[in-house]
Amino acid sequence: MLHKSLSNMEEQTFVYAVLENIRVALAHSKNREVIIGIGQLTGLSAEQIIASIRMLAPEIIEQKPVFRFFPIPGKIWCTGCGYRGDPGEVVSDKDDLELVIHCPKCNSTKTIKTEGAELEVIFSEKYELK
């Protein structure tokens, strides 16, 4: 599973969009480099993303791309107390299907992800990461 908070249909659309973005990045990259931003609130790791690409799109791996990853910080809104900002404790639920995010102000789990719940695929020629 590449994205923990989507239905099966949404997940499939999301995964294919990410794979298509990787294909486009490779087609435009002179050095076979693909830069992927991983949102803090996706619950995903670089290893999970690579494993998903190997399984779903082995032709991408055959092109021997160089993957670089960078974190995208997460932000939340707590509907319990109105807090907006950095997330508190982020843990997987008992089934490991969804992230549970605790508000750092009131400890409520009634939180909404406002940033850091995405994956970004960018072309290395356009961005210089240090």
Region at 76 (left for phi over 0; alpha for psi -120 to 50; beta for the rest): beta
pLDDT at residue 115 in the model: 94
pLDDT at residue 12 in the model: 64
pLDDT at residue 127 in the model: 44
Each residue of 85-102: pLDDT tens digit? 999 777 766 555 678 899
Q: Is the pTM of this model over 0.95?
A: no
Where is pLDDT greater, at 119 or 80? 80
Residue 125's pLDDT band (boundaries 50, 70, 90)?
low
Write the CATH number of the domain with boundaries 8-123.
3.30.2320
